[in-house]
Amino acid sequence: MKAIIVHGGAGRHGGDRFREKLDVLREAASRGFETLRKGGDSVRACEEAIKCLEDSPLFNAGTGSVLTLDGRCEMDASIMRGDTYEIGAVAGVDRIKNPISLAVKVMEETDHVLLMGEGAMKFARLMGFEYYDPITEERRKQWEELKKDFLEGKETPWNKIRGLIRRHPELLAGTVGCVAVDDRGVIAAGSSTGGVFLKLFGRVGDTPIPGAGIYATPYAGSTATGIGEGII
């Protein structure tokens, strides 16, 4: 029996944009389920659902991802197929629109599990992914304000980030994810994120790590959200 579930990440999702976010989540689930209805497999359903969330600036994945301490966008994504235990993941990628699709390419087109940084971007261009700037003006403004707050603090770096999140819980716009099962009973799990605001350049969280950010077996699938260091 085919089924799909999506989430928009840990954090505060109330306020003026709650309905907008809920609408995007419904659209993501609908796109994924339509893929299943047309005979697509669970991997493709997860990809389509997560692409919908990555394309919305309301979530911390793809367009609208949060920025690093030096004002860059470094995104992570992963996909796992439960019947074969195949995995594809990318870490620290930028200048592409849909990291989840790149993770799928890693799984389907390479013998590797995880590609990162510039190597992952070279692979993306080889696979035909076009240049795209995922940084939004809203995220840039938040970064400017938060970096000032961050630099004026007197605590250790990670305590500063935790303090910022306590004062501005809306910034904990976490990882998005999806779990799907197709008519063949194959389960897949996928995840995508921009990470945590003001993270150090090169930081990798749980999202691209099998057994931490995602996992899928013939019997179950899961996708995590929250502060990656705690999950790992």
Query: Which amino acid does the sequence have at 96?
Result: I
- Is 217 a catalytic site residue? no
> How does DSSP assign 103-138, residue by residue?
HHHHHHH-S-SEEEHHHHHHHHHHTTPPP-----HH
Count Cβ neighbours within 10 Å for each residue of 146-157 and write b for 16 or more, e otherwise.
bbeebeeeeeee
- The length of the chain in residues reads 232
Residue boundaries of the structural domains of the chain: 3-194+205-217
What does the pLDDT look like over 173-225, one tens digit per residue? 678 999 999 999 999 999 999 998 888 889 999 999 999 999 999 999 999 99
Which is the catalytic residue, given 68, 175, 207, 225?
175
The average confidence (pLDDT) of the chain is 91
Q: What is the pLDDT of residues 96-110, one digit of tens each?
A: 999 999 999 999 999
Looking at residue 189, what is its pLDDT? 99
pLDDT at 227 over 60: yes
DSSP state of 58: T
Q: Supply the pTM of this predicted model.
A: 0.92
* SS3 state at 216: strand
- Integer Cα distance of 69 and 197 in angstroms: 8
Q: What angle do CA 94, 95, 97 make, to 5 degrees?
A: 95
